[in-house]
């Protein structure tokens, strides 16, 4: 994705994949609308206390 593009795009879902997709699209020149049904982004990852394998705090 080296070519800059213009326009807008909607990314449905604010989980890890949605956030990464939105970031990649924004870096490519798109105006991104990130749409999440819940009150916060992060998906399942935001509900985990610890992350595998290092047991780091995810909050």
Reported as a single tens digit per residue, the pLDDT across 34-53 is 999 988 888 777 666 666 66
Share of the chain above pLDDT 70, in %: 69
**Nearest 10 degrees: CA dihedral of 8, 11, 57, 53?**
-120
Cis bond upstream, residue 59 (ω within 30): no
pLDDT at residue 15 tops 70: yes
pTM reported for the whole predicted model: 0.69
CA angle, corner 42, sides to 27 and 2, nearest 5? Answer: 15
């Amino acid at each position: 994705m080296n070519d800059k593009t213009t326009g807008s795009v909607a990314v449905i879902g604010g989980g890890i994949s949605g956030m990464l997709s939105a970031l990649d699209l924004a870096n490519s020149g798109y105006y991104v609308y990130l749409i999440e049904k819940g009150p916060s982004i992060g998906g399942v990852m935001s509900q985990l206390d610890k992350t595998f394998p290092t047991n780091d705090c995810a909050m």
